[in-house]
Every structure is written in C-alpha cells, then in structure tokens.
Amino acid sequence: MSPSPYNAPRARQVSQMSSILGDAARVNDQGGHKNYICLMILQPSEAGIIVEQLVHCLGLRWDAAEWDALGAGVGHLRWAAFLAVLESKYCRGQQLHEEALVEAVAEVYDVFIEDIIKKGYLLKRGYLLPTMREYWCVLQPCALTYYKSSSQKEQCGRITIDEYCSVEAAAGDGKIQRFQLVTPERTFEFATQDHKSRLQWVSALKQATAVSGGAEGYQRRARATRRGADARRAREAREARARLQQEVRARLAAEAQAQELAEIAQQDNKKLEEMKNAQVTLEKLLQEETQAKRDEEIVRALQARVLAEEWEKREELERLQEEQNKMLEEERLKRKQFEMLQAEKEAQYREAERRLQELEEEKKKLDAELKAAQQKISRTEHTAQNLQVHLRDLHPALRNGERARRAVSFVPTTKSSSDTLIDVRAIRHLELLENDL
C-alpha cells in the first residue's frame, strides 16, 4: 500500500479549511449507550469548493458534473472519507511531485485560512523616487502587503484597505499596464506586465474593498452567506412540499365530496334529463336561428358601410383630381405670365444696355470735343497775350488810349463760344492795325 500523499502538516491544513466550510455533528461511537463523539461533516457543495481550488492549483482538469454525481450519491462527507476521496481521485495515479502538492495545499490554505484573495508580483511607484520597483504583493480583504520576494520574509509596506478605497485604471506607456489604488490618505500607483493581469488585480482589489468590513474572515462570511442561502432554499422547499401536501389532501377531500354529491344528483336528475335535453335542443335551435338573423343583419350592415366608404373614397378622389387639375392650370398660367414677364424684363434690359452704350459713346465724343475746345482756348489765350505784349512794344502811346482798351476788351475768355468768336475778330482787327502802321 503506497503512503498517503497527505502527511500530518498538509492534512492539518486541509482539516483547518474543512472546519471553515464544514458542520460539526454528534455521532454515536457504537461503543456504549448514549456515547457521542463530535465529527466534522462536509456538504458536497462546500467540499467541492476546496477540491476545485486544489485541482486547479495542481493543474488538473476539474469535472463539476462528476463531483455533483458523487455528492448526490454520498449525501455528506466525513473528514476521513473526504481525505480518502482526495487521495484516490486526484492524487494517486497522477504522478504528482511532492513539491507541487505542498505548493497547491499551501495556496489553497492561504485562500481559505489566511483570506488571501490574490498574490503575485506587481510594479509599484515609489513615494520619494518616481520609479517603478517590483514587489511580491499579497492581497487580503483588509490590507495589501508587499514584500521584497515571494518568500514573504522581508515586508516592505502595508496598505490598509477599507470601504472608502477605490481602484482606477490609469493610462499606460505601452510596455506596462498601470492602475491606481486610491485610499483616504494617498494614492498608490501599481503596474503589471500585461492587460490581463491588470484586469485580474483591479477585480481582486474591488472585491477586497467590497468585503473589507466585518470582524469575521472573508471565507467565514462567505460560508455564512451560503449557509443562509441554503437554509432559505431548504425552508422554501419544505414550505412548498407542505403546501403541496395540503393541496393534495384538500383535492382528495373535494373529490370524495364531489363524488357523493354526483351520485345524489345523478339520482335526482335522471328523471329531468329527457326534458332538459329537449329544452336544450329547442333553445339551441332558437339560438341558432336568432344568431343566423343577427349574422345576416351584421353582414348587410357591413356591406352597406363598406359601400358607403367606397363611395366617399370615390368622391374624395374625384374632388382631389379636380383640385389637382385646377392647381395644374393655375400653375401653367403662372408659368406663362412669368415667361412673358421674363421676356419683357430681358427686352428692357437689352434696351437699357443699348442706351447705356449710346450714352457712353456720346460721353466719349463730348469729352473729345471739350478737350479740343480747351486746347484751342489755351492756344488763343496764349496768342492774345503775345499780341498784347507786341502791341505794347510797338505803340506805347496807345497803352492808355481807347485803342488799347478796345484791344484789351477783345482778349479771349473761356466763358462761351461767342466770346471766342469775338476774340478772333479782335485779333484780325489788330492785325489790320499793324498793317496800316
């Protein structure tokens, strides 16, 4: 017979875990009258929690259906039977190393006895130096403790967790995934190597903040909650069975009473059966005839209503068609008027353009005539000034005489074309005077 893989220390750890999830029961030791001993009894559902954790830690496949079938056949497990099941189903023939079994039992022991929710390596930002250092972190419902290594011998710090703490994801730099643990005192920044680990740690920290309150351990409170739920379901099942039994008894009594009454009524109604059958037949025929008349009236009313609705729809369609034709005619008239108005506007526009061109040409012509007249006047004034100077030089005696005044009076101005003509005549007169002299 091969030795048991569960030696005294490991068996003691498993026993402590079972004591949290199990129930104490008094059992007769069969050695005498009224001699009882206290044994630890595990319900299959509670024992399955320990076994599932242990199987996962050993890297084996967990078959929930197989365990449920085993629990349904056993009912409950004593400590010795539970340990035998562990040895036979999950240890023997699996070629397990003793170190792996020790680590698996220790990890499950940490979960159920030490209330450790999660542990592993995390990067933590320093308080004084803003650098990320790696620590071995152990998360419990009341605190997050971090050590230098996984041996958990040198504690580097402890962060108290309560219901006022919160966890928030932070932006990462691509290489590490950051998150923050916000406490009433300060904010701690942690990081993991991948996104999956960050999600696991954030979920575990939220779970720790949710169960941080209370004097009892997390696993004991979870067990109490499950027990309360199981007790409530059992109570509801008992009440349902009691109600069902009461209903069955009431139904049986009612059936017996109904059978007696039926026998009595059968005897009383046997004589009136034929008369009632005849009456029922006549009433049925009358009802059928009445119903047929009502159905006929309903059909006629429906036909009349449908015909009236069809006629109203037809009148409405004709009215709509007339309105549509009228609107189309008005639209054609408006379009024709608009086209005529547009043509008239275009003709006026072309006439205005032509008139504008004529005015532009006339303006250019007048500007050219005005420029020529101004040049001519300028030349005439220059010639008159030269003549005046020449006359003063040739006839000094006439400077103050009437001839000079008359000559000066013929100096050209820019007032009008008649003045220009006078100036020309004066110039000719002066030329004749010069010839006489």
Q: What is the pLDDT of residues 273-312, one digit of tens each?
A: 888 888 888 999 999 999 999 999 999 999 999 999 999 9
For 106, the domain range is: 8-112
The pLDDT of residue 415: 46
Write down the pLDDT at residue 406: 47
Exposed/middle/buried for residue 290 (C-beta within 10 Å: 0-12, 13-18, 19+): exposed
Separation between Cα atoms, residue 240 and residue 249, nearest integer Å = 14
160 lies in the same domain as 87? no
51-61 pLDDT, tens digit per residue, is 766 666 666 77
Sheet holding 118-125, edge to edge: 155-160, 143-147, 132-139, 118-125, 187-192, 177-182, 166-169
Asked which of 112, 143, 165 is the last residue of a domain, the reply is 112
- pTM value is 0.42
Domain boundary among 216, 236, 256: 216
Does 13 have pLDDT greater than 70? Answer: no
Domain count, the chain: 3
- More confident call, 60 vs 19: 60
Residue 178 lies in a domain: yes
Domain-terminating residue out of 153, 181, 216: 216
Angstrom distance (rounded) from CA 386 to CA 366? 30
Question: Which phi-psi region, left, alpha or beta, contains residue 338 (left: φ > 0; alpha: ψ -120 to 50)?
Answer: alpha
Give yes or no: residues 100 and 136 share one domain.
no
Same domain, 86 and 12: yes
Amino acid occupying residue 9: P
Instruction: Tell whether 94 is covered by a domain.
Output: yes
| Helix (H/G/I), strand (E/B), else coil: 383 | helix
- pLDDT tens per residue, range 235-269: 888 888 888 998 998 989 999 899 888 888 888 88
Does residue 255 form part of some domain? no
Q: Could you tell me if residue 349 is inside a domain? A: no
Tokens 């069969």, residue? 30
For the ranges 54-63, 213-222, 379-388, the lowest mean pLDDT is seen at 213-222
Whether 403 and 429 have beta carbons less than 8 Å apart is answered as no
Same domain, 125 and 200: yes
What is the phi/psi pair of residue 192, to 5°?
A: -125, 170
Which one, of 420, 20, 13, lies nearest residue 218 by Cα?
20
Q: pLDDT confidence of 40, banded at 50, 70, 90?
A: low
Q: Is residue 37 domain-shared with residue 129, that is, in the same domain? A: no
Sheet holding 77-78, edge to edge: 23-28, 36-42, 77-78
CB 83 within 8 A of CB 14: yes
